[in-house]
Amino acid sequence: MDWVLAGIAVLAGLGAIRTALIWFRYRGERVVTCPETKTPTSVSLAALNAALTAPGATPVLRLSACSRWPERAGCGQECLSQVAASPDGCLVHSILAQWYVGKVCASCEAPFGDIEWSVRKPALLVGQVTLDWSQVRAESLHQVLDTALPVCFACHMARTLLREHPELAVERPQSWQPGSGHFKS
């Protein structure tokens, strides 16, 4: 009897681990090309639905959100084939992580190594303003990344402080040149 209970507990544990792994894999915002408009579109999946697919079966993918909804909510969700083909490749987080590889901060020239996404997220320099990447709409992410420069967390925080609370900071009489990696006197 103890072996039966132990077996059931092991199977339940394995099922819970499988469910969690699938949920983690399919959660998060993604960028796909809408088959109808041929433009980048932001989508999110019903990750829990995928995670609860029967063991041994391919996870059933469904959209839970799309930047084209509610106007086009009745679409056939053909974009899901892009997610199925590359679940991580279209994930916003993965696109950004790949973009920062091999780059240095446009302000201080510090190289980007392993990024601590939950603590010290790097930012983007767009024009003369640094933006947290969450301020960029996912459907315009590729377009923004084509022209933006990478900025480390420390430089982003310093520039944000100067921009939003100039009364709390002293800016030295030097001019910063985007892309030069340093201040000019």
Mean pLDDT split into 10-residue runs, the chain, 185 residues:
76 72 78 90 79 72 85 83 88 90 91 83 90 88 92 90 80 57 48
Strand pairing class (149-151; 123-126): antiparallel
Q: Specify the pLDDT at position 51.
A: 63
For the record, the structure tokens of 148 come out as: 């933006």
The pLDDT of residue 61: 84
93 closest CA partner among 110, 111, 115, 61: 115
pTM to 2 decimal places: 0.72
DSSP string, the chain: -HHHHHHHHHHHHHHHHHHHHHHHHH-SEEEEE-TTT-SEEEEEE-HHHHHTSPTTSPPPP-EEEETTTTTTTTS--TTHHHHHH-TTTTBHHHHHHHHHTT-B-TTT-PBP-S--TTTS--EEEETTEEEEGGGS-GGGHHHHHHH-EEE-HHHHHHHHHHHH-GGG----S-EE-TTTSSEE-
**Which pLDDT belongs to residue 151?**
94
* Predicted pLDDT of residue 120: 83
